[in-house]
Amino acid sequence: MATFMLALLACLAVLCTTVLGDRIVNITILESATDQGAVCLDGSPPAYYLDRGFDTGISNWIIFLQGGGWCDSIPDCQGRATMDIGSSKHMTKQTHFAGILHNTPQENPVLELVDFYNWNRVWVNYCDGSSFTGDVEQVDPENNLFFRGARIFKAVLEDLRSKGMQYAKNAILSGTSAGGLATILNCDKFKSLLPNDAIVKCVANAGFFINVKTISGTSNIQTTYHRVVTLHGSAKNLPPSCTSTMEPSLCFFPQHVVPYVETPLFIINSAYDAWQINNTLVPANLDPRHVWEHCKAQISSCTFSQRIVIQVFGVEFLRAFEGLNPCYTRGYFITSCHTHEQIVVTNYWFSATSPNILNKAIAEAVGDWYFDRVGFHQHIDPYPSARDC
Ligand SMILES: *[C@@H]1O[C@H](CO)[C@@H](O)[C@H](O)[C@H]1NC(C)=O
Ligand SMILES: *[C@@H]1O[C@H](CO)[C@@H](O)[C@H](O)[C@H]1NC(C)=O
């Protein structure tokens, strides 16, 4: 018995950490998608990483959409076309799965029945620059760019259906940042591609980009979204119930579109999201002398007046949030941490140091919500201002 315990401890200390830390998954390049014109910005086929489910998770699927901002102009998209976020020619052949995509219960907890570690887990590469919403038939020979994000979403999911997802019993669409926004925008579409009796839900991480003005009072993010939607022909792929009631590019904002999403949705975000503070509130061109640099990196380095500006942003964020229609199937995990973190990072998703609201980590809150284990799913950090976590 003692020898067994020692062996187990040794394993936990050395062997297991290496094994647990490294789940390496190979890329699948979906060559056949080019027949449907479902291609990255440069015309190369889309790609994903799939790690098969096992044991009780064999009929369950979690699809994670990668993030990485958007491109809203030809030169901007051309720049991406030479990188992994615009071309499968530049994607890595293998990747590491962690956080919500991890394949062991130690990092991806089994709480009562099952959680996600033994599900089929898929990371979908982002290479369209429109949060998987674009669809423009013509290709301008001047630049050879393809705007086909919505086609990629459809082609990848059709392929996964043929690999077993058509018989799914449980399914989650998730994603971070631009992928978190893509999760919201494509949530009902995802549901429609799964069996009627499957339990289908969506988990959007760091994708609640609010429509707020910059420190100079200009509407930069609204302009950016308008340009993205126009360039990529996204309007027809946004939820029609939203676009029929307002200017389509406004439906790119979660605060406007979420009330029209019918599938249960869980939103994980910081009220002081670091990307939004860096880009929506204080874009670099409005800070030519870099007086915001230290504050952007660390809240404790902000001046008193900068802290007030950030505090007001948080108030705007919560106001946008509270303006949503009440909905009992919706779950929230809204932190006060000044971050823009990903649930595919174990330290954020579930660890001793991950954000906690009333003693619950994100993994526990999402699991409880997905499996209806408890009745309450709307967690808002009671800490009253932005902080470094
Ligand atoms: C992943 O690719 C490597 C190198 O091409 C190969 O040796 C390995 O068997 C592949 N793994 C799986 C699970 O297909
Ligand atoms: C925000 O900007 C700061 C300062 O440049 C940088 O350290 C930080 O990584 C940025 N965060 C995000 C999420 O863009």
Active site residue 273: yes
Report whether 282 contacts 221 (CB < 8 A).
no
Question: How large is the average pLDDT for residues 283-292?
Answer: 97
pLDDT of 338 > 50? The answer is yes
Residue of the CA atom closest to atom 13 of ligand 2? 275
Question: How large is the average pLDDT for residues 228-240?
Answer: 98
CATH fold of the domain at 25-380: Rossmann fold (3.40.50)
Minimum-distance ligand 2 atom for the alpha carbon of 277: 1
pLDDT of 353 > 60? The answer is yes
| Ligand sitting nearest the alpha carbon of 298 | 2
Give pLDDT, residue 54.
95
Percent of the chain with pLDDT over 90: 85
Question: How large is the average pLDDT for residues 199-213?
Answer: 98
Give pLDDT, residue 109.
55
338 lines ligand 2 (CB under 6 A): no
**Spatial separation of the C-alpha atoms in residues 149 and 17, rounded to whole Å:** 37
Among 176, 209, 280, 296, say which to mutate for ligand 2: greatest number of ligand atoms within 8 Å of CB: 296
DSSP 113-141: S--STTSEEEEEPP-SSSSS--------T
Give pLDDT, residue 250.
98
Give residue-wise pLDDT tens across range 54-75: 999 999 999 999 999 999 999 9
Give pLDDT, residue 347.
87
Question: How large is the average pLDDT for residues 99-108?
Answer: 79
Give pLDDT, residue 145.
98
Minimum-distance ligand 2 atom for the alpha carbon of 292: 4
DSSP 45-62: PPEEEEE---GGGTTEEE
Q: Where are the alpha helices (DSSP H) in 193-328?
A: 220-232, 240-243, 254-257, 274-276, 293-297, 304-322
**Spatial separation of the C-alpha atoms in residues 32 and 85, rounded to whole Å:** 20
Which residue's entry shows tokens 């800490």?
A: 383
**Which of 12-26, 136-150, 236-250 has the least mean pLDDT?**
12-26
Among 275, 278, 280, 290, say which to mutate for ligand 2: greatest number of ligand atoms within 8 Å of CB: 278
**CA torsion, ordered 74, 75, 79, 81, to nearest 10 deg:** 20
Give pLDDT, residue 5.
35
Which residue's entry shows tokens 């526990």?
A: 364
**Spatial separation of the C-alpha atoms in residues 180 and 333, rounded to whole Å:** 14
Question: How large is the average pLDDT for residues 231-246?
Answer: 98
Could you tell me the residue ranges of all domains in the chain?
25-380
Percent of the chain with pLDDT over 70: 92
Residue type, 167: Y
Interacting residues of 88 by C-beta distance below 8 A, sequence separation 6+: 29, 40, 44, 45, 46, 47, 125, 127
Report whether 251 contacts 239 (CB < 8 A).
yes
291 conformational bin, left if phi > 0, alpha if psi -120 to 50, beta if neither:
alpha
User: For the chain, what is the mean pLDDT?
Assistant: 92
24 Cα to the center of ligand 1, angstroms: 9
Give residue-wise pLDDT tens across range 292-326: 999 999 999 999 999 999 999 999 999 998 899 99
Question: 108 pLDDT band (50/70/90 cuts)?
Answer: low
Give pLDDT, residue 266.
98
